Amino acid sequence: MTDTGLSARRSAVHLLDQVLGENRLMAECLSAGALDHLPADDRARAQRLALETLRGLERADRLLQKHLRKPPALHIRNALRLGTVELCHGAAAHGVVNAMVQIVSAHKRHGPLKGLVNAVLRKIAADEPEQAWSHLRAPRLPKWLRAPLVQAWGSEAVSAMELAHLAGAPLDITGKPGADLGTLGGTKLPTGSVRLTNPGQVTALPGYDDGRWWVQDAAAALPGRILNPEPGMTVLDLCAAPGGKTLQLAAAGAIVTAVDSSEQRMKRLRENLARTGLTADLRVQDALQTEGTYDAILLDAPCSATGTIRRHPDLPHAKDGSEFGDLIALQAHMLAHAWTLLRPGGRMVFCTCSLLPDEGEVQIDEALGAHPDMTVDRDALARPGVDAAWITEEGGLRLRPDYWPDLGGMDGFYIACLRKDA
């Protein structure tokens, strides 16, 4: 790391300013080049610091509250939050305090508040920060999201999800069929993915360069396993990029057509195929304009992504749920259109990385009511490691971040396998 972490910390505060001040997702900030000026290790550190701060934001604010008569401007608050989180995670006090003071003093308008930053962070550092941190409750989701989740799953379950969100996510790997993943030194999960808790740089891991595996959360690997295409089947992967599921389908020997409307995300799918030596026909187009007839379809519809908060703690802060209604309507249109592309007797997997029943259970209930030739294929869910308790009333699979608490959790997902009458 260069300049004892100052550039990484400054960029992390800037990311926090964008997420919390401009309601931008971190992924948007990163693809707009927010960290492009940094060397690779500083980039990784800035991202990690911003994510840790967002995960622990409520705890940091509670500790800071004791030392602030009124909340200062957002940029100062974010520097204080980042400093507090670092101190509570055991970073050396002098490094953290000096860095935050330097960051604030370089700011034209807020520079005069460097004394406040210095004094508050010194007080936090003097007060057994690691212990104080661990005594606070897991940060709660904002009300706009917590309320519907409590209604759907109950408050005990939501508290367990919040604990999982605070813990963050390990790195899960899906291997090509028969690939030896033993050299990665991870844990084999019940569903077949390999989990690494301290992976370091992904591109340096054994087997990355020769394309033996790809990164994919264990829950996200299940839709492909449930569709389980036979070699030679024609499979349409709708909303495919960046392509974890496309790689699974292609590796199983299916003839895959992958559709996504985002050229930028499709570029990543192209790179993933090149690295793994797998093939698929890629089409940058609107899923609703897609034509043809396929033996099987995987529809991973755009959704609230509320199942991925362990890895994207910025989401509850950047969003307010106002666009979820449009997404829910789009999912229903996509499902209905995709159904017209499935050959009689074919199977379609519908999935979303969402915790909201409106983007899962309710969609399938409504689709079953609207399509007399549609049935749910419950047998398709009988895959290794799938717990019968995860199966829902209408025959889908509900996955939640608080499942597998001893193994490190999983992303929230909803998956259903639908069969068309022959």
Closest CA to 254 of 191, 346, 164: 346
Instruction: Write out the binding residues for ligand SAM, residues 285-304 only, by CB under 6 A.
Output: 286-288, 300, 302
Give 16 or 353: the residue with its C-beta nearer to ligand SAM: 353
Could you confirm whether 29 is annotated as catalytic? no
Give 262 or 375: the residue with its C-beta nearer to ligand SAM: 262
Q: Tell me, residue by residue from 229 to 248, as one string, x for binding to ligand SAM by CB under 6 A and - for no binding.
A: ----------xxxxxxx---
Confirm or deny that 244 is annotated as ligand binding. Answer: yes
Q: Tell me, residue by residue from 75 to 104, as one string, x for binding to ligand SAM by CB under 6 A and - for no binding.
A: ------------------------------
Confirm or deny that 241 is annotated as ligand binding. Answer: yes
Taking the complex as a whole, the smallest distance from the CB of residue 379 to ligand SAM amounts, in Å, to 23
How far, in Å, CA of 143 to CA of 136, rounded?
A: 19
Q: Which of 29, 88, 353, 417 is catalytic?
A: 353
Query: Can you read off the two tokens belonging to residue 278?
Result: 């797998």
Confirm or deny that 245 is annotated as ligand binding. Answer: yes
Give 186 or 244: the residue with its C-beta nearer to ligand SAM: 244
Q: Annotate 311-370 with DSSP letters as a single string.
A: T-TTHHHH--STTHHHHHHHHHHHHHHHHHTEEEEEEEEEEES-S-GGGTHHHHHHHHHH
The conformation of residue 136, written as its DSSP 8-state character, comes to S
Q: Tell me, residue by residue from 337 to 376, as one string, x for binding to ligand SAM by CB under 6 A and - for no binding.
A: ----------------x-----------------------
What are the φ/ψ torsions at residue 398 (nearest 5 degrees)?
-105, 115
Confirm or deny that 239 is annotated as ligand binding. Answer: yes
Q: Is 260 among the residues that bind ligand SAM (CB under 6 A)?
A: yes
Q: CA 174, 180, 186, 192 torsion: positive or negative?
A: positive
Alpha-carbon distances of 96 from 85, 93, 99, 323, 397, rounded to whole Å: 10, 5, 5, 38, 45
Confirm or deny that 200 is annotated as ligand binding. Answer: no
Closest CA to 185 of 174, 200, 195, 170: 195
Q: Annotate 111-128 with DSSP letters as a single string.
A: GGGHHHHHHHHHHHHHS-
Confirm or deny that 242 is annotated as ligand binding. Answer: yes
Interacting residues of 148 by C-beta distance below 8 A, sequence separation 6+ = 356
Taking the complex as a whole, the smallest distance from the CB of residue 354 to ligand SAM amounts, in Å, to 9
Q: Hey, which residues are catalytic here?
A: 353
Q: List the binding residues.
A: 239-245, 260, 300
Q: List the binding residues for S-adenosyl-L-methionine.
A: 239-245, 260, 300
> Which residues contribute to the site for ligand SAM (CB under 6 A)?
239-245, 259-262, 265, 286-288, 300, 302, 353
